[in-house]
Structure 1
């Protein structure tokens, strides 16, 4: 991983700041909600106690039947078309049916839907009607009640038969509409509101299931109460909607409305702020669909909890954008019994507005801090990478084959750790450069210093030989030793001359003057001169079809080719082949001389172009030794032209190839 990426990861650690702030804002929002919920719950408890103390008309304890309000009169025909708007709030009737009750200014309507696939039919007037499928209806008034039998052998109008003695104010018989199909039957009827019916019972008798055919349970009738709504309005708080509910969730009274505070011009949250509030902050708000104001029943968990004596609160979405509604449900208890549920709802912009402001401010601040910190670290990492890159480039440029330092070392004047590193590198390369210069001049120094001792040794051998021959002939045993001594002196002399020649060649190559020449002509001329020397060996030349002009020293290139050809010729067997190739490259030219012969040893490939290194067989005594300066000259010529000299084995293993890469010599300014 690069240094820049590491510092980028360090910069990402600053993300801990917005995460910690987000947790803090969530905690703050939770505390704000809890405080507001406790305040509204306390207000609801106070209002519930006031309703009990003032004797408000609360619903009776226990199960009841809720009578919904209908705007239009309902046609009594046994079909449920007129009941469609009220159907979602039907009340369960035993386990096999549902009951709908409605009223207007004149009538109390009843609609019962019973599911029954197996039927036993009989009319209410038949003697065996109680053993057939039927309904038992009970009407109550002022503590008295009377039961009626509803049964029919066929669809149409039916007359209910009274099962109990007459009761003042209650009718002797009732008419109803009976309709049925394969899934069951439906009964619809109405009674005048002037009768003052305050309780009702309805039971289903299934002849196949058995049971008591006359049993019925009466329940009190409850409905929306304007009187209770007036009492509630006297106690309600401004900006708070209050509703009194039966334990089953039916709305008995309602007052007030949700007054969402108007937002200031700059306080209205946008869609992005509202999205952040809904998705990132502490407690999620519920959907407002179940809390519509005009529904007759609220079947929600908070109302059910309150009907069991446990207060409950809930946050839900408000009608206005960016607002929330807090709902608090508390039980209304009288004589130790839950008589109803008081529900208070209050709209608010403060909680989401404060949370949005805090969160958005935190996000903007954190983003700004993260951006600045990331930019600073990125700039620092970039500058540090550039400085380290300069050090690396300087070190690579300094790593020439002769060990010299190429130019001054950068950033040695810096006062930081990079400057200390640069100065350490500079001192190191100064030591290496001095040692390299010493090694480079060692050959010339040794050759100069060894000339006199060698001359003394040679003259001493000559004088010794003359002295021995003057007295008498040289003993046969001494003759081999004398020859060996002379051969050793000759070899030492050749080495001294080679070292002097190497120093001279280095100076000559360094002083060569470049010019613009056509490399194609230079290589072609050398190739034509080599053909007579190849003998039985085949020499192929591959040249480009167009001239290749380069600013170079042609005599040095020709000298390097001479060394390469001499080296290749000595290793190519009779009848073998040589191939001289010139090709253009992106940065100059490349000359390759390949020949058939043995491969290069792996251990010597990196040392072939050093001075005094040779792979040829050692010369026999008396022969001139091979000093290994040819490929060293090739390397010097390549470096003088800004290139390199390389050697490799051919891929097919048939021979070796020596390559001279040339980039051209710099032009001198006049």
Structure 2
């Protein structure tokens, strides 16, 4: 592995700084969530305390006494100890078999006779019938002081009224649906729904004239639609809450042929069409009361003890006021910081008790989006990660540049060391000897070594001349001595050696 790659890997080790920043951001998020949860709990408890004992605000119907015969002669607030008390609250919060409990709708359904824009909540349906052939289901909901009714009637032979006839002529009657209700004064009223075909349906009330004659004028405040289904027919209605008091019920008149006696069943008495059940719904003022506590990114919901929503105020979709949508870089950082499965919402329930703090009369559920503190976290996270990533990038770039610079200098030293000795044995100069770092020390050491090698090489070059001079002198002496011996008389046996010496 090259030095350049090693230093690059060492520079990449600085990426531990952004990783540490992500861990710090997670810890900061947990601390912010815990603090926000505590704050939300305090808010929910405060609002629940303001609703304590406010049954008149929670429920549209005043709490009745346990027994009408035991009702006090002088009107007393229903929550006053010693009157209706906890028994009345218990009786009201445990509905009877004919009572209807409308949903708190988030939008008004379109009156077309189809259930597409109704909540899909099977538990919210109520079913009534006489036998398996005569049975209907009813779903009710409230939105902006309007009661919406969705009626599913099972009928093997749906029958409409005869067209163009008197609505009070029994010979023309088809299937009819009666609505019975009490007004705010406790007086019973009835209207009937009759249609000559699928589509819009009108409600009519029966009035008796001065001379005993009856007529059926249209009730213009009630609107609806009647549609056939594969197993019967469906009716969708809208009734103003201002028309209704405590009691409300439905009666179905099923006929197999026009003019015959009907099979009647439902939640109205068949003899006088008086209501058997109540309409358990929140007071209209409850939603307005919750609205005063609203803030962007907050949702308040008041439910019955069993969990059915009475009223809600929802501002979860509103902007939190801390800026627009997070930038792309922040969304990218979230992928590394957000924990899988983390809840984007904070929830804080709180119980609502009566004035004696003994009986549970409702529950408050406060939900808040995490947008506020997540944006605070994102702001800090972006600054920290931008700084750490920039630092890491600078460090990696600087280390890579330094590694390249070192590699160039080492390559120069390598090439100099390879070409230090020429073919003739001459020593060239060595680079980097002027540097003041460790590579300069190495270069100077090599230069000193080469200098000594150069001196030794020079010595070897002059050694032959010196040796020749030293050898030439004794040879001259020997040669002159031999010349002198030739001039002398030497024995023949010694002359052979003299010749060999020459």
> Do the two structures share a fold, i.e. TM-score over 0.5?
yes
**Match of 2:324, SS?**
coil
1:10 aligns with 2:88: no
Post-superposition shift, 1:388?
A: 2.5
Answer yes or no: is 1:271 the counterpart of 2:330: no
Structure 1 segment 312-351 matched on structure 2, within 5 A:
315-316=344-345, 326-332=346-352, 339-346=361-368, 350-351=372-373
1:382-393 to structure 2, matched below 5 A, reads 382-393=404-415
Corresponding position of 2:102: 67
Residue 360 (str. 1) matches residue 382 (str. 2): yes
Does the residue aligned with 2:58 lie in a helix, a strand or coil? coil
Name the residue aligned to 1:426: 447
Aligned residues of 1:276 and 1:356 also touching (Cα < 8 A)? no
Deviations 1:353-382 (A, max 9, x none): 322221221122223322333343334333
Q: 1:370 aligns with which of 363, 386, 392?
A: 392
- Cα deviation for residue 433 of structure 1 reads 1.0
CA displacement at 1:44 relative to structure 2: 0.7
Q: Hey, what's the Cα distance between the residues in 2 that align with 1:73 and 1:269?
A: 37
Change (3 A) 1:461 1:196: farther
Change (3 A) 1:106 1:60: closer
Q: Of 406, 418, 428, which aligns to 1:396?
A: 418
Counterpart residue number, 2:436: 415
Q: Please say if residues 109 and 117 of structure 2, whose CA atoms lie closer than 8 Å, have aligned partners that are also in contact.
A: no
Change (3 A) 1:156 1:438: closer
Residue number in structure 2 paired with 1:471: 491
Tell me whether 1:252 sits opposite 2:310 in the alignment: yes
Per-residue deviation at 1:12? 2.0
What's 1:27 paired with?
27
What SS is found at the alignment partner of 1:413?
coil
- Residue 398 of structure 1 and its aligned partner are, at CA, apart by 0.8
Aligned to 1:38: 38
Matches within 5 A, 1:455-534: 470-473=490-493
1:90 to 118, 122, 134: 122
Contact 1:87 1:100 survives alignment (8 Å)? no
Deviation of 1:428 after TM superposition, in Å, equals 0.8
1:48 aligns with 2:48: yes
**Structure 1 pair 336–452 and aligned structure 2 pair: CA distance change class (3 A):** farther
Q: Which residue of 2 aligns with 1:164?
A: none
1:218-249 Cα offsets, whole Å, 9 max, x none, are xxx75455244345456x35554321134565
**Distance change in 2, residues 1:336/1:53 (3 Å):** closer
CA separation of 1:251 and 1:385: change in aligned 2, threshold 3 A = same
Kept after mapping to 2: 8 A contact 1:260/1:347: no
Structure possessing the higher radius of gyration over alpha carbons? 1
Residue ranges of structure 1 left out of the alignment (5+ in a row):
76-81, 114-138, 143-154, 158-168, 179-187, 200-220, 287-313, 317-325, 491-670
For residue 335 of structure 2, give the secondary structure of its aligned residue in structure 1: helix
Displacement of 1:421 in angstroms is 1.9
Deviations, residues 571-596 of structure 1 (Å, cap 9, x unaligned): xxxxxxxxxxxxxxxxxxxxxxxxxx
Where does residue 102 of structure 1 map in the other structure?
140
Q: Which residue of 1 aligns with 2:58?
A: 57
Contact 2:100 2:277 in 1 (8 A): no
Whether the aligned pair in 2 keeps the contact of 1:93 and 1:99 (CA below 8 Å) is yes
CA distance in 1, matches of 2:138, 2:290: 27
Match of 1:512 in 2: none
Cα distance, 1:422 vs. partner? 1.9
Distance across 1 between alignment mates of 2:5 and 2:407: 11
CA distance in 2, matches of 1:195, 1:370: 81
**Conserved in 2, the CA contact under 8 Å of 1:222 and 1:252?**
no
Match of 2:166 in 1: none
In structure 2, the gaps of 5 or more residues are 60-91, 127-134, 155-179, 187-230, 234-246, 257-263
Give how far 1:38 is off. 1.2
**72 and 256 in structure 1: CA distance in 2 versus 1, 3 angstrom threshold:** closer
Change (3 A) 1:451 1:260: same
RMSD: 5.0
SS at match of 1:441: helix
Tell me, in whole angstroms, the C-alpha distance in 1 between the residues paired with 2:338 and 2:294. Answer: 28
Work out the CA distance in 1 between the residues paired with 2:149 and 2:379: 55
- Taking the aligned partners of 1:229 and 1:273, their CA distance within structure 2 comes to 40
Secondary structure, aligned partner of 1:52: coil
Mapped pair 1:175 → 2:176: no
Q: Residue deviations 1:296-327, cap 9 Å, x none?
A: xxxxxxxxxxxxxxxxxx534xxxxxxxxx44
Describe the superposition over 1:457-480 as per-residue Cα deviations: whole angstroms up to 9, x where unpaired: 56778988999x9434479xxx8x
CA distance in 1, matches of 2:473, 2:255: 147
Q: 1:363 to 1:62 in 2, by over 3 A?
A: farther
Q: 2:71 aligns to what?
A: none
Partner of 2:173: none
> Is the alpha carbon distance of 1:391 and 1:62 closer, same or farther for their aligned partners in structure 2, counting shifts above 3 Å?
farther
Question: 1:440 is paired with a residue of what secondary structure?
Answer: helix
Of 260, 272, 277, 1:198 maps to 277
Cα deviation, 1:14-65, whole Å, max 9, x if unaligned, reads 2222222232233223222221221111111222233233234367269997
- Once the 2 structures are TM-superposed, how far is the Cα of residue 352 of structure 1 from its aligned partner? 3.1
- The higher-RCO structure (CA 8 Å, 6+ apart) is 2
Q: For residue 398 of structure 1, give the secondary structure of its aligned residue in structure 2.
A: coil
TM-fit CA distance, 1:432:
0.9
Deviation track 1:587-629 (CA, whole Å, cap 9, x = no partner) reads xxxxxxxxxxxxxxxxxxxxxxxxxxxxxxxxxxxxxxxxxxx
TM-score between the two structures when normalised by the length of structure 2:
0.56
Query: Is the 1:261–1:348 Cα contact (8 Å) retained in structure 2?
Result: no
Q: Secondary structure at the match of 1:389?
A: helix
Per the alignment, residue 217 of structure 2 pairs with none
Per-residue deviation at 1:273? 4.2
Distance 1:44 1:83, change over 3 A: same
* 1:449-503 CA-partner distances (Å, limit 9, x unpaired): 2234345556778988999x9434479xxx8xx69x95xx89xxxxxxxxxxxxx
- The count of aligned residue pairs is 357
